[in-house]
Each structure stands twice: as structure tokens, then as C-alpha cells.
Amino acid sequence: MESILQGVKHWRGISVPVLVSILTAYPVGLGIAYPVILGALVFEKNGYSATLNGISIASSLFGVLVGLPIALRLTRKRFYSAQIVLISYFVEAVLICIMAIWFNPWLWIVLRFFVGIFGAAQWLFSESWLIAYAPDHRRAFLLGIYGAVIALGYLTAPVLVALFGSEPELIAIAAGLFLLCFVLIYIARERLPRMPLATGGIISWKLCRAMPLAVVAALISGFVEEAVQGFTPVWSLRNGWGEAGAARALIAFGIGSVLWQFPIGWLADRLGPRIVLATTCLVSLAVPLLLILASDSSGLLFLTLFFLWGGAIFSVYSVALAAMGKDLKLEEIVRANGLYIVCFCIGVIIGTPVIGYLMEQFGANAYLVTVALAPICILLSFRLPRRKL
């Protein structure tokens, strides 16, 4: 992979594609999370059902699934990846400005679907630049920084809501963040590479067999991460921790997801991503079960466990991505990363209704038991044979 770096522009020893991916991660993370939280509050305040709000949130994910093959097709038509990302950021900003001017629930659902379509390109190419142009000996650490910066954006979103309130027009803040990313990409456009692309689509059985561990890790990562955000408040309320306890748990989880990325990425580069991935899965299995036992314990133990859990489960995505990138040729990276994102989105779409149903049938602790058992699937996938592309 070192030979790939020849001819790629650098800035103070850092590959420009890697630098741009990391710099845009914070505004993207905040720009994604802020509309989700703000939209939920706006729908609730205006008397719309939780089902409609759920459809609104899911519409952007379905948009991503539609947008990924479109981005791939545009790349094959000799568009530069930077050109596609520039157009995506600009159109996203325009769509969100329309949402800010005119609040209508069904209009917001349609617009968020199209935001997802255009957002697919920036997700796909930002991660592909990172995987392709990060040095082998630092790839996991740099992907960890990328994940930490996105997590910091997610963590900032509730603070903005607390500071500025939940009026629909405030969603324009997200438009400003995407325009900031547009400016950063425009400045660096001449230094961003044209990504080579192998034949074939994103959904490919051959590609799945070449990276079974990454496929399963992406599915489970999406399944668990969204569940934590959606069901930790419900579990906390049913176990007597109240709204304040739920908020503290999510903050501890968020801080862990930021801070643990750095040491975990560093270890993955030195010990190998597969060893570290297995360790994070074991921690992600143990912590939810310990939370069931600690539900009547002190608040400090409760928050410490959420802090550890945030670091472990959030690292699964970036460490598995590093493991995937280690075994791929440059021309296969965009397709493989597209499949990885598709699997993550499917995990999110499946996870929340499944866990919600199990909680209704078996009680609040069914949430923690389910998310504890999920990482076992990743551990089992270590035994699956890998096929060459």
C-alpha cells in the first residue's frame, strides 16, 4: 500500500485526502446528528406521532442506500470523487435551507430522503480516501481519529439544542456546516485523487465472501449503535434512573466513544486490527450484562460501564474498517467501502424495531441482553473463510 502514496499530495507529512476526511468529519457528524435531534423535538412539539418521526429519521438512511450506487456510477463516468462530493455538500445545504424555510412533516421526510442520497457520496469517498491513502502502519489510528471527530460532532448536537432551542428554522445551522465542508473540499480539490474503480456493483456475493468479517462487523455496529441512542432512555426510565440518569448515561457513552478511539486505534496498528476487534467485541459483550447486575448500584459504576461500552462498541466500526482496508487493492476500496456502509445502514434499520419488539415481549433488560449477544456474531465471523477477489 505504501506505493499508492507516491504522487499523492501531502501537507506536513499528512496525505491531503486523509487530512480532508478528518477535517470534514466534525461538521458532518454535527450536521447529521443535529437535524435528527431537532427534527424529533419539532415533530413532538407540533403533535405528530412517534411513528412519523421514525419514518423521517429512517428516510435519510434509505436515501443513503439509493445514493451509494449512483455515486459509484458517476465515478465510472469519469467524474472526480472531489467533484461528486462538492456537488453533494452544496445540494445538501440547499435542501436543508428549504426545510428551514418551510416546515411540513411530509416535505421534511422527502427532503431528508434526498439529503441521504447526496450524503451517500461524501460518506463513501471520505472513508475511501482515508482507507486508501493512510499509511499501513497508521491506518487504524487515523481511522480512530476520524471516528472520534465524528463522535464529537454527535456529542455536540444536544448542546446546540439546549443553547438555541428547537425551532424548525434552526435546522439551517446544519446547512452552514455542510457549506463549510464544501469550502474545505473546494480549497483542496486539486490535491484530491481520482479514485480508481474495479468493475462490479456494491452488492456482490463475491465481495461479501472476500470480506465476511467486515460485513458482519458493519451490520452489528449499526444494529447496536442506534439501539443505544434510542433505547437507553427507555431502559433507564423503566429501571428507576429517570431522565437525568438516561442523559448522564448517554453523555458517558458519548465521551467514551470519543476518547477511547485514540488508544484503540494505536493498539490496532501495533497488535493487528483483528486482535483488537476481538477484544472490543468481548468488552461489548460483557458490559451490557454487567449493567443488568449493576442497575441497583452506585451512579459512578453505572456511568463507568457506559463509558467503557461507548469506547468498545464505537471502535468496532473503525477497527473493522482498518482490517478491511489492509487486505484490499486500491481499485477495490470504493466498492468494498460502499458495501460496508450498506451493511451498517441495514443494521440500523433492522436493529431498532427488533429490539423494541423484544423489550415489549420480555421487559426492559431484553435490550441489554440483545446488544450483548450481538457481538458474538462478529466473533463467530472470524472463522469464516475469505475468498480472493
Contacts of 121 (CB under 8 A, 6+ apart): 67, 70, 71, 74, 84, 85, 87, 88
Amino acid at 118: F
Q: Do the bridges between strand 14-15 and strand 10-11 make them parallel or antiparallel, or are there none, so unpaired?
A: antiparallel
- What distance in Å separates the CA atoms of residue 136 and residue 253, rounded to the nearest whole number? 29
Q: Are residues 219 and 142 in the same domain?
A: no
Question: What are the residues facing 11 on neighbouring strands?
Answer: 14
Is 4:133 a contact under the CB 8 Å cutoff? Answer: yes
Question: Where is the domain boundary, 191, 224, 242?
Answer: 191
Let me know whether 39 and 174 are in one domain: yes
Are residues 184 and 273 both part of a single domain? no
Asked whether residue 21 is assigned to any structural domain, the reply reads yes
Q: Are residues 232 and 269 in the same domain?
A: yes
Classify residue 199: in a domain, yes or no: no
Closest CA to 229 of 251, 197, 196, 198: 251
Residue 389 belongs to some domain of the structure? no
Q: What are phi and psi of 11, to 5 degrees?
A: -130, 110
The pTM (predicted TM-score) of the whole model is 0.85
Domain boundary among 191, 214, 237: 191
What is d(CA 119, CA 293) in angstroms, rounded to the nearest whole number? 41
- Is residue 196 assigned to a domain? no
Instruction: Indicate the burial class of 116 (C-beta count within 10 angstroms; 0-12, 13-18, 19 or more).
Output: buried
Whether residue 197 lies inside any domain: the answer is no
127 in any annotated domain: yes
CA–CA separation, 122 and 357 (whole Å): 33
Q: Does one domain contain both 297 and 339?
A: yes
Domain count, the chain: 2
Joined grid coordinates for residue 243: 431522565
If asked whether residues 67 and 183 sit together in one domain, one would say yes
Kindly state whether residues 53 and 182 are assigned to the same domain. yes
Instruction: Judge if 28 and 170 occupy the same domain.
Output: yes
Please tell me whether residues 163 and 234 are part of one structural domain.
Answer: no
In a domain, 388, yes or no: no
* Same domain assignment for residues 13 and 60: yes
pLDDT, tens digit only, all 389 positions of the chain = 333 333 444 444 457 777 888 888 887 777 777 777 777 677 767 777 666 766 777 788 889 999 998 888 888 777 778 888 899 999 988 998 898 888 888 888 898 899 889 989 888 888 888 888 888 788 888 888 888 888 888 778 777 777 777 677 777 888 888 888 888 888 887 777 777 665 666 777 777 888 889 999 999 998 888 778 777 777 877 777 776 777 788 788 888 988 998 899 999 999 988 999 999 999 999 999 998 887 666 678 888 999 999 899 889 998 998 888 777 777 788 888 889 999 998 998 888 788 878 887 888 888 899 999 999 999 999 888 777 76
- 231 inside domain: yes
Residues 256 and 228 in one domain: yes
Question: For the domain that residue 152 is a member of, what is the CATH number?
Answer: 1.20.1250.20
Residues 346 and 374 in one domain: yes
Of 162, 191, 220, which closes a domain? Answer: 191
Q: Which grid coordinates belong to 140?
A: 487504524
Domain extent, residue 61, equals 2-191
